[in-house]
Amino acid sequence: MATSRTSSQRPRAGAATRATAARAARPGPAAGRRAPRRHASAWTISVPRGHRPATLPGWGDLARGKNERVPSRPRPTGFMAQVSTLRFALLLFAMAAAFTVYVGHVYATQDLLAAVQEARKENQRLHMRYNQRKAAFDQATSPTVIYRRARALGLEEDVAYGPTIHLND
């Protein structure tokens, strides 16, 4: 007398079925343990399509409690664990850009310093030329030179330049 079951008539998880009861009654290794298998085809379990043995746990049962997945290596803690890869890449790009701007600034500053030093040298050269020309002009227009030339022209030197002028207010 064989009866077919529908999915709503499945036995509860953990409930014994005729098949499991028959397996438990077999002679051999202790109940719940299987005998060692001899070849690869013995690893497959023959279960009719659409039926799941009641003794096997479901995915929800495996994911609870002590059966939870344990990471193979511990999760890193600290700053790098909190930063996402995209944020780290953007941070790295920003640091590279800042470093490039800094290096460009250093080279621009060195070029500017060289230009300022060149302008300073030119300024000193022009000041020296101005001072030389001014010294030559001052030498040519000094009072001793003027008196000497005036004597050469026949002019005479007088002690008094003239009477004192008084202004009446």
Give the single-character DSSP code of 32.
T
Q: Please check whether residue 146 lies inside any domain of the structure.
A: yes
pLDDT, one tens digit per residue, over 127-144 is 999 999 999 999 999 988
Distance CA 44, CA 57 (A): 17
What per-residue confidence (pLDDT) applies to 95?
97
How many domains does one find in the chain? 1
pLDDT, one tens digit per residue, over 9-53 is 555 555 556 656 556 555 555 555 565 555 555 555 666 666 655
Q: Please check whether residue 27 lies inside any domain of the structure.
A: no
What per-residue confidence (pLDDT) applies to 92?
94
Paired tokens of 142: 């000094």
What per-residue confidence (pLDDT) applies to 157?
76
pLDDT, one tens digit per residue, over 84-131 is 888 889 999 999 999 999 999 999 999 999 999 999 999 999 999 999
End-to-end CA distance of the chain: 156
Given a contact cutoff of 8 angstroms between Cβ atoms, the answer to whether 51 and 45 are in contact is: no
- Amino acid 148 reads R
Q: Please check whether residue 17 lies inside any domain of the structure.
A: no
Q: Please check whether residue 98 lies inside any domain of the structure.
A: no
Q: Please check whether residue 37 lies inside any domain of the structure.
A: no
Q: Please check whether residue 142 lies inside any domain of the structure.
A: yes
What per-residue confidence (pLDDT) applies to 124?
98
Q: Please check whether residue 7 lies inside any domain of the structure.
A: no
Given a contact cutoff of 8 angstroms between Cβ atoms, the answer to whether 10 and 47 are in contact is: no
Q: Please check whether residue 78 lies inside any domain of the structure.
A: no
pLDDT, one tens digit per residue, over 70-81 is 667 766 677 777
Tell me the residue range of the domain where 136 lies: 117-155
Distance CA 9, CA 71 (A): 39
